[in-house]
Amino acid sequence: CRLFCKPSALAQHLVWGLGRSVVLWGRCWLWPNWPQLQMLQQLLQLPKPEPAVAREFLQLSDAGLVALDWLVGPQGAGSDSGGGGPSLVLLLIPNAAGKVTGGLLQLGLQALEQGFIPVIFNRRGHNGCPLTTPCLQPFGDPGDLREVVTYLHCRHPTAPLLAVSEGSGSGLLLAYLGESGSSSHLAAAACISPIFRGRDWFEARMPWLYEWPLLLHLKRGLSRYVGSLAKMVDVDRLLGSRSLRELEEALFCRTKSNPSSWEAYWERNEPLRDADEAAVPVLCLCSADDPVRGPPSCSLPFELFRSSPYFFLLLTSRGGHCGFPQQGPGHSWGHEAVLEFFRAMIEFLRAEERRKGLLRSH
């Protein structure tokens, strides 16, 4: 792994924290040579046993609904919050299609066993969440996520709040961090195989092995709400989409009441449009052989990691898309790296609070 970041005390502490993780120095095995197979495993294989969840619906300010799935289980829940103090609340954000993958569930289970309080954010109309308004969430519009984070902060006012996103779902998290700045209520965030440049990604298209399952997943969910959506969009064009770009345009650009151009849509929805305003530590875990994001030279914003003290890029030569497999079925060293990052950030922030307290007392 190589770490790209701006030199700082925070970066030094992160290097020290990641150095504690034995899993980052493990030996390679055959899986890393086949990123396409890693991708299939990540999409299709669920952890065994599957975690039990308690679903909670949250009504938003416009009467829309999102669903929060709290992972519950007997193994170690709430037993260790990583250095004392209240438990850490971990918000898990699926990809933009709302697909809760086996990898995301495995991360949630691992976090639960280590004392975190994991909860999955399901957008409007995704993963069985009812669509109560003829409105879905655009790629980089963090409005619904903002209300969810505010709710979690009110429900757990003394607990540090963390967020991790997977794949294209990172567009939502990155947009939220930029728009919210120092008012995000988050202590730290992590993006696993993020998509940084949304428009370029949609226009370049992905391997059909990844795009078609997600497209079918989205269409199957949207087909339940054709009556409601027919008031806003051309349903025939929507369900006849042959790519994720066509579907995105049908949903958010070619609307009946307020149509807009593809260019104008991305001016409002690019994930990094306000990245300079982000004010919490963000780890981006990426692989050079990611078949979904594209080549590092044109898909990774290296300048952002060199100039911002808050963005950290952990880049590995092999790992696929949201894969980062280690020996053993369903295991990912990327999950341990993310959880270790969160522990290191919480340690650093608590040490800074103690130092400032001592300075004030003198």
Catalytic option among 321, 331, 335, 362: 321
CB 66 within 8 A of CB 129: yes
Q: What is the bridge-based pairing of β-strands 89-93 and 282-287?
A: unpaired
User: What CATH number should be reported for the domain whose range is 2-76+84-197+271-361?
Assistant: 3.40.50.1820
- Which among 190, 197, 180 has a CA at the least distance from the CA of 271? 197
Name the segment(s) of the chain with CATH classification 3.40.50.1820. Answer: 2-76+84-197+271-361
The verdict on whether 141 is a catalytic residue reads no
- DSSP states of 205-272: ---HHHHHHHHHHHHHHHGGGHHHHTTTS-HHHHHT-SSHHHHHHHHHTS-SSS---HHHHHHHH-TT
d(CA 273, CA 174): 9
Neighbours of 292 (CB within 10 A): 23
Residues 6+ away with beta carbon under 8 Å from 16: 344
The verdict on whether 321 is a catalytic residue reads yes
Q: What pTM was estimated for this model as a whole?
A: 0.91
Catalytic option among 13, 69, 290, 335: 290
pLDDT in tens, the chain (362 residues): 899 999 999 999 999 888 877 666 554 544 445 555 555 655 556 666 678 899 999 999 999 999 999 999 644 444 444 444 568 999 999 999 999 998 999 999 999 999 999 999 999 999 999 999 988 999 999 999 999 999 999 999 999 999 999 999 999 999 999 999 999 999 999 999 999 999 999 999 888 888 888 899 899 999 999 988 998 999 999 999 999 999 999 999 999 988 999 999 999 999 999 999 999 999 999 999 999 999 999 999 999 999 999 999 999 998 889 988 876 555 789 999 999 999 999 999 999 888 877 666 65
